[in-house]
Amino acid sequence: MTPANALRLNAIGLLAICFVLSFALADQLLYDDLPCPLCLLQRMGFFAAGFGIALNLVLRVRTAHYGIAILGAVCGAAVSLRQVALHVVPGTGSYGDAFLGYHFYTWAFIVFCLIIAGTGLMLLFERQFAGEPEVSDLVLMDKPTRRLAQTAFLLFGFLAVANGVSTVLECGAGMCADNPTSYQLLDKE
């Protein structure tokens, strides 16, 4: 796999993570489905995993960056597995809405597993690491690839800030409530 193809696949992967994060944020804003602490931790897991892919896009494609993605996804998967385990026994209820038959934390676990598998697969192709040393792969790419990579990176950064601001509004400076019902900082009382 050439560095150009690796960069394109990284950009598509990061856009897929952005889609998941945007979907969760849209559900929160449009349907007032406030994220619980474990839900927020899973979103952080997506940022921790996507961070490695983002580094591939603006710096160089490196094995260490794929390692970052795997470590982040493992942490996120641990959190989502914990939430699945909390509700896996019949009669223990659930949190939030279901989508296509699965709750968001189950989908999160599936996506984290896909990130780990996809990253492992990418590591099999060693030719992608043969780019110019100390030069970003991005500057050597054609314009559409560069645009795709920059769009994915900037969208990912925007979502990180948006989630940070939304969490401040929901939880203030402290810890979040286990079952949040309103934005702490927007309450009029």
Partner 1 sequence: MMSLPFFLFACGLGAAWSDWRNMAMGFWFAGLVTLLVLFRFHATEVLNIGL
Contact set with partner 1 (CB under 8 A): 37-38, 40-41, 43-45, 47-48, 51-52, 54-55, 58-59, 68, 71-72, 75, 78-79, 82, 85-86, 88-89, 92, 136, 153, 156-157, 160-161, 163-165, 167-168, 171, 173-176
To partner 1, the closest distance from the beta carbon of 80 in angstroms equals: 11
Burial of 37 (0-12, 13-18, 19+ CB in 10 A): middle
To partner 1, the closest distance from the beta carbon of 76 in angstroms equals: 8
For partner 1, the closer CB: 27 or 37: 37
Distance CA 53, CA 158 (A): 16
Cα–Cα distances in angstroms (integers) from residue 27 to residues 20, 90, 133, 167, in the given order: 11, 26, 43, 14
For partner 1, the closer CB: 79 or 100: 79
Helices 3-31 and 104-123: angle between axes, nearest 10 degrees: 170
Which 3 state secondary structure label does DSSP give 118?
A: helix
Distance CA 14, CA 91 (A): 37
For partner 1, the closer CB: 3 or 52: 52
The residues pairing with 142 across neighbouring beta strands, listed in sequence order, are: none
To partner 1, the closest distance from the beta carbon of 22 in angstroms equals: 15
To partner 1, the closest distance from the beta carbon of 161 in angstroms equals: 5
**Residue burial 120-136, b: 16+ Cβ < 10 Å; e: rest:** eebeeeeebbebeeeeb
For partner 1, the closer CB: 114 or 168: 168
To partner 1, the closest distance from the beta carbon of 15 in angstroms equals: 15
For partner 1, the closer CB: 100 or 173: 173
